[in-house]
Amino acid sequence: MKERLKELRKELGLSQRVFCQALGLNQTTYASFETGERQIKEAYIKLICKVYNVNEEWLTTGTGKMFLPKFASSTIELLEIYDALIPPLQDYLLQQIRELKKLQDRL
């Protein structure tokens, strides 16, 4: 994984110092992950993936693409609206979306 950490950081065009600042990590600690001196903890893996939109499978195993796809603003808006609804209305919304999908499939 140490090679993928370096590859990611270089792909982002960041120094270790800048990369670590966004994560709230000490540069010395992070450097030990890149050299393989220390094994990176799962919490740091998840944090890197969240902050930099990285595919966790790629980071841990090398499988798949480096980055996750970015959502369109309309998708984010839909998720925010859904999340703000009470559970019965969330269920209703899902039911309506399924019906719209069925209708589209018939067209």
- For the domain that residue 31 is a member of, what is the CATH number? 1.10.260.40
pLDDT of residue 79: 85
Facing residues of 67 across strands? 54
Angstrom distance (rounded) from CA 102 to CA 2: 46
On the question of pLDDT at 27 being above 90, the answer is: yes
**Residue 26 covered by a domain:** yes
pLDDT reading at 50 higher than 80: yes
pLDDT tens digits, residue range 53-77? 999 999 999 999 999 988 777 877 8
**Residue 13 sits in the same domain as residue 54:** yes
Same domain, 26 and 52: yes
| Domain of residue 51, residue span | 2-61
pLDDT at residue 75, as a whole number: 79
DSSP 67: B
* pTM, full prediction: 0.66
With contact defined as beta carbons under 8 Å apart, do 9 and 19 qualify?
Answer: yes
The confidence band for 34, taking pLDDT boundaries of 50, 70 and 90, is very high
Q: Based on the domain organization, do 42 and 14 belong to the same domain? A: yes
Residue from 1, 20, 19 nearest 10 by CA: 19
Q: In terms of Cα–Cα distance, which of 33, 85, 104 is closest to 42?
A: 33
User: 77 with 98, same domain?
Assistant: yes
